Amino acid sequence: MNLELNQLIRPRPGETTVFFLRRHPIIFLGELVYVALLAAVPVGIGLMLVRLWPNLLAGPMTRPAIILLASAYYLVVWLFFIGYFVDYYLDAWVLTTERIINVEQNGLFSRTISELDLSRTQDVTSEVKGILPSVFGFGYVYVQTAGERERFVFEQVPHPHEVRKRILELVEADQIRLEKEGVRTLKMNE
């Protein structure tokens, strides 16, 4: 299920991945419906042309031209299919014992990776809004931080309320870890 995490981030000593999130699969299915609609367009146009000009698809020149045009169109539609998948699959949120990492694929040649230390988390909000999100159980999780980037957003993730709870648990565990490390450092200095 995981992205090749080591290629994108360098894990800190003692840091472990707790969970890994992608958008809800229904989002990708929605994009597949769009691809299917695009694929149906030439069929509709073809049926219309046959009705209007019955000899068009039998012409020695028009037939190959139409076939080549349709083939080129389907190749482009097929590129949409893989493009949507890459965009869906390479958008991910990784929660480790110390950080939240957001990997965002924007098209083919742009990727943004943001990191947030759990210790900087101030507030976590989950939201399920609308008919489809309520039916399929996906929504947004907003992580409010003290940093420059005010909000860290998990978009259209499954079970957002559970994700919020889990993040809060991790933040608490991280605070305890930091306190322990702080006590240990103080003792070593004494």
Q: Report, in Å, the least distance between residue 94 CB and other proteins.
A: 12
- Between CA 163 and CA 160 the distance in angstroms is 5
- Between CA 26 and CA 55 the distance in angstroms is 43
Only segment of 85-93, 138-146, 166-174, 178-186 that touches other proteins (CB under 8 A): 85-93
Provide the angle, in degrees to the nearest 10, between the axes of the packed helices 25-52 and 62-89.
Answer: 170
Three-state DSSP state, 14 = coil
Q: Does 81 bind other proteins (CB under 8 A)?
A: yes
The CB density around residue 18, as the number of other CB atoms within 10 Å, is 15
Q: Does 52 bind other proteins (CB under 8 A)?
A: no
Question: What is the end-to-end Cα distance of the chain in Å, rounded?
Answer: 46
Q: Does 76 bind other proteins (CB under 8 A)?
A: yes
Sign of the C-alpha dihedral computed for residues 148, 151, 155 and 159 taken in this order: positive
**Of residues 37 and 183, the one with the C-beta less far from other proteins:** 37
Q: Does 67 bind other proteins (CB under 8 A)?
A: yes
Q: Does 20 bind other proteins (CB under 8 A)?
A: no
Report how many residues bind other proteins under the rule CB under 8 A. Answer: 29
Q: Does 41 bind other proteins (CB under 8 A)?
A: no
Interaction with other proteins in 87-146: which residues (CB under 8 A)?
89-90, 105, 108
**Of residues 7 and 16, the one with the C-beta less far from other proteins:** 7
- Between CA 185 and CA 179 the distance in angstroms is 10
**Of residues 37 and 76, the one with the C-beta less far from other proteins:** 76
Q: What would the DSSP string read from start to end of 19-43?
A: EEE---HHHHHHHHHHHHHHHHHHH
Amino acid at 6: N
Q: Report, in Å, the least distance between residue 71 CB and other proteins.
A: 4
Pick from 60, 131, 187, 188: which binds other proteins (CB under 8 A)? 60
The contact set with other proteins (CB under 8 A) reads 1-4, 7-8, 60-61, 63-65, 67-68, 71-72, 74-76, 78-79, 81-83, 85-86, 89-90, 105, 108
